[in-house]
Structure 1
Amino acid sequence: MGDFNAKVGQPKLEEHRITGKHGYGSRNQRGELLINYCLEKNLAIMNTYFMKKSNRKWTWIAPNGRTKNEVDFILTNQKQSITNIEIINKIEFSSDHRLVRATWLLKQPKKSRINFRNKTTKSLQTDIEKDDFLKRLEEERQPLMTLAPDELTQLYHDRLINCIQTSLKHSQKNNHNTQKSILSDTTKQLITKRTELQNIRPKTKEIKSKLSDLYKKVSKSIKEDYKKHRESKIENHIYADGSVKKAYKELRTHKNWIPKLQISDNNTALSRNQILETATTYYRKLYSSQEQEPPKTDLPSTSEVPAIDEIVIMRH
């Protein structure tokens, strides 16, 4: 960080790795040198990543009081750690520069596993996916042939990576859409018709009657579709493997196995072997324990209790 005496100006599209979208003024020759240096060292110019008003961007003012430029920058290779860049204007000292302050996040917040998504792209599985990917990639690659020789560096690399990722997602999306649905076309039409009637406001008595009938038809049709799907799966595995075990495994929607078992306050069994061993030990100890006699109580003997006289009874 410091005074680089360079004007970066407005960032260009091919500089997206090191710049944001918020520049100031125009670029000079020293600004080009700073950009090239940052591209070589993979340093992000953080002043360009945060949107500020024009009067909160400049860092140097000329002696005439009219020319203002942004020449003080903060560079880093950990741009995720900086959450804000701002100019301090209220410190009184004799200088033609203004202070630049960065808010640095020293400790990264923990990401919640609930919101975590595995974004790793899966490889192509079928020949249809591979052929579609190559065809799409060839179409996306054609515009790259028109680039000027001086642009065939970082810009070409970035666009080529973008072409590959776009083609890969397009091929996998098409394959996902071509997968056979469990619900039949008749069921989907009934669901669509039911949705249209549900959106009608207000509903007449006739519409309510049709909706009631459609609810029953949709429910019955879904059950029949799932029944056919189940029978088809079992039949295919019988012909292919001669067994229905794999079919039941594919059709299973949940697991009956206990995922974990608490052994003590600070210990939990997670693996299947640990759970089996813990449960076996507990029940072996429970049923192998000898029956204990009931505890004895010190009750007074009946022989020591004096007899009640008949005279006492007559008095009461």
Structure 2
Amino acid sequence: MLLEFAAQQGLIIANTYFKKHKNRYWTWESPNGITKNQIDFILSSQHGIVEDCSVITSVGISSDHRMVRAKIHIDRKLARLKIIRNQKKSKLNILKLKDLKNDFQLELKNRFACLDIENADIDTKYELISNTIVEAAEEIASRERKTKQTTEEDKANEELDKKRKELREVEDKSPKQKIEYSQLVKTVRKKRRERSRKRKKQQIESILESGKGPKQITKMNSKKTRICQMRQKNGSITTDREESLNVCTEFYQDLYSSKTDENSGTRVPTKSTDDTEVPNITV
């Protein structure tokens, strides 16, 4: 019975995992002192944390059972990370739900009136009732999604960037357009740097206000910048990651491969910038 339960629930019986003296196995003694059985067990869902399990024989208590002790080791940092990852962010605004408790109770009453759970088993009843309560709460006080707020400064920067891209696409630029394009490039870069510094300053202030230490700031600054676009051989810009990887691959293949003469099949000698003759070391 115990074995079937442990197998069904994915549990281990810690008493049976460690070899002990035969006197350290039994946990219950009959009143006449003749019969001794092992009927007390420690079950665990994680095999890796149990380091030892044994019976304590030297505890002076007036009982026919002996205490069972297990030694476990838990990595607190790892356990905390697992808990945080498994936690789902609540979609409910609790304060709003408290303010609208009358509406919430009315919504629950209407939903439970339509719920048919008389002939259902206990597990189905629990699932239906809990889902009904959660759905009613989300209907009344769901948390609003935060939308990105666009400031006037952001709009102005977008207009400058849009104008810069339009001028970049012009093939035959006039001298005036070239000067305007150069100034736009400098202005857009300056605005981007200012925006990046402002965002980092806000992030650092938020980290310090929340009580987190310098390690979090260092971690924030150590993020690698991802290349979002690449220029292909034909001059077009691609933002597709696979195409960008192909562009990089072709570039380095051309860079490190030997350039040969197509007609003769021999390597083209390297030209020197000075008058010193480069010796031919190839065969």
Q: TM-score, normalised by structure 1?
A: 0.26
Higher-Rg member (1/2): 1
| TM-score (norm. length: structure 2) | 0.28
